[in-house]
Amino acid sequence: MTLALELRCALAEDLSTEVWTGSWALGRKDRRYAAFIAYVLDVLANHDWAVGIAAAGLGVSTGKLIRVLAQDPQTWNVVNQARKKIDLVNLRRP
């Protein structure tokens, strides 16, 4: 999970869609969870941590994306620290 939180991968610029094809109902104990969070964070980073734009690219509502991020304190902190570095306000917990 540490790699998922710390390592960002650039997404291909020619992606027509960034929709996650797996389930959005993953718990932290699910073996796919780290890959899911890494993908979501990569999409957020690709959109300069703008949650609304990233959510649209992922095919979910902004509220859904924020709820998913808020489920894990480490993920929540990573997002808010990245947003702070580029002078965006912290997200509020749902």
pLDDT at residue 29, rounded to an integer: 85
Sign of CA dihedral 28, 34, 35, 36: positive
For all residues of the chain together, what is the average pLDDT?
Answer: 82
pLDDT at residue 23, rounded to an integer: 67
What distance in Å separates the CA atoms of residue 91 and residue 94, rounded to the nearest whole number? 9
| Residue 16 pLDDT greater than 70, yes or no | no
- pTM for the predicted model, two decimal places: 0.77
pLDDT in tens, 60-74: 999 999 999 999 999
The owner of tokens 């796919």 is 32
**Which carries the bigger pLDDT value, residue 32 or residue 1?**
32
